[in-house]
């Protein structure tokens, strides 16, 4: 059995909650890159949906590579994990960008753009069984090549590799399904990011799943019940508020999607704040309830000008721009709010 490094108490430990949002997940890539580069953050649990789930699992794959080395010095193991996680995240997103360029230049695109042919499928009366009968998804091949799921399962939750909570939506029940522990798999990732307008529902153990954003983007409750850390950093890439009333049908649909994909998150945040306030007032028993300290890096307002259409854009230059925005946002958070981790909520 691989030895578990002893904890380094100079590193602050907290959970991550990573929203989904298509290629806007490259903003989260930038956030994670800056946090990993800082080297003073350890992630206890990570809850992710769709692109957030992919970022979470790719990051965990990097730490799993470090865990396989069997390092016993905590600082060395953490530093190596951060390094490998940054490399793995970059490899993933650069590969996504390469696929995006390939798709943008494909003959089927005619206008040398992905969006003009992909967007109509989102509102087409045809189902994925008709438009994509072979259920082709290039991300599946990429993730299979990049991630050692068995290594993640061997090491997650032992101190170096964070616990993963991958959110999907059960098509039959409409409820959130969180894959964790040995359930974290390639199929679970594909289920978490399965937009029903583009891909057939993913079947796992006799149940069918769609994108997790419909029921939790992301789910916070697994971090409350299963993670040890009391702090959660939410990386938000879907705007909650808008400055303009949508007028066109495209704008209306975009806003409906934003409201829908944020609804469950807002409900959980209200519940967390309600419990925290009751605990402060002494109206609940501290031993039975957990006061979570919430923090946020808000990418929604930064990404809103790009429009929701750009969530399906995957050219490398665009992804690199989002990456830079995410790095800057994370660096600002580290300067202004990192000291509050373990002390007080900032959201």
Alpha carbon distances (Å) from 80 to 12, 56, 67, 206: 17, 17, 9, 39
Pick the catalytic residue from 33, 44, 187, 211.
Answer: 211
Residue 8 catalytic?
Answer: no
| DSSP character string of 282-346 | T-S-TTTS---EEEEEE-HHHHGGG-GGGGG---HHHHHHHHHHHHHHHHHHHHHTGGGTTT---
Residues 64 and 81: their CA atoms lie apart, in Å, by 8
Cα gap 199→132, rounded to integer Å? 7
Q: Is the bond leading into 226 cis (omega within 30 degrees of zero)?
A: no
Closest CA to 274 of 295, 288, 290, 297: 290
The rounded distance, in Å, linking the Cα atoms of 165 and 17 is 9
* Cα–Cα distance list, 61 to 55, 94, 185, 236 (Å): 10, 16, 12, 22
In angstroms, the CA 110 to CA 284 distance is 62
**50 counts as catalytic:** yes
d(CA 97, CA 342): 37
Strands 207-211 and 163-170: antiparallel
Helix then strand then coil, % of the chain, to nearest 5: 55, 15, 30
Q: Which residue has the tokens 């009751």?
A: 278
Q: Which of 23, 47, 50, 192 is catalytic?
A: 50
263 in Cβ contact with 50 (< 8 Å):
no
Instruction: Provide the annotated active-site residues.
Output: 50, 211
């Amino acid at each position: 059995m691989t030895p578990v490094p002893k904890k380094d108490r100079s590193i602050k430990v907290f959970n991550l909650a990573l929203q989904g949002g298509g290629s806007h997940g490259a903003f989260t890539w930038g956030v994670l890159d800056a946090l990993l580069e800082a080297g003073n953050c350890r992630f206890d649990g990570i809850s992710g949906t769709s692109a957030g789930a992919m970022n979470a699992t790719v990051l965990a794959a990097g730490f799993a590579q470090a865990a396989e080395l069997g390092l016993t010095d905590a600082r060395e193991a953490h530093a190596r994990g951060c390094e490998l996680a940054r490399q793995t995240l970059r490899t993933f997103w650069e590969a996504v960008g390469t696929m995006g360029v390939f798709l943008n230049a494909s003959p089927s695109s005619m206008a040398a753009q992905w969006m003009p042919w992909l967007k109509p499928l989102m509102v087409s009366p045809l189902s994925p069984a008709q438009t994509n009968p072979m259920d082709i998804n290039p991300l599946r091949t990429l993730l299979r090549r990049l991630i050692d799921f068995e290594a993640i399962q061997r090491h997650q939750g032992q101190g170096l590799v964070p616990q993963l909570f991958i959110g999907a939506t059960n098509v039959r029940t409409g409820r959130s399904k969180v894959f964790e522990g040995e359930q974290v798999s390639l199929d679970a990732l594909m289920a978490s990011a399965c937009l029903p307008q583009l891909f057939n529902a993913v079947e796992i153990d006799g149940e069918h799943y769609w994108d997790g954003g419909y029921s939790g983007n992301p789910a916070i409750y697994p971090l409350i019940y299963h993670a040890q850390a009391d702090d959660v950093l939410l990386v938000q890439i879907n705007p909650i508020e808008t400055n303009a009333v949508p007028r066109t049908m495209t704008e209306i649909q975009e806003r409906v999607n934003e409201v829908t994909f944020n609804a469950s998150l807002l409900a959980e945040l209200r519940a967390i704040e309600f419990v925290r306030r009751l605990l402060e007032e002494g109206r609940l028993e501290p031993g039975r309830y957990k006061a979570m300290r919430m923090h946020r890096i808000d990418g929604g307002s930064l990404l809103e000008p790009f429009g929701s259409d750009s969530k399906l854009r995957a050219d490398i230059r665009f992804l690199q721009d989002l990456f830079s925005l995410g790095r800057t946002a994370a660096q600002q958070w580290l300067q202004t709010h990192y000291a509050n981790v373990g002390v007080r909520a900032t959201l």
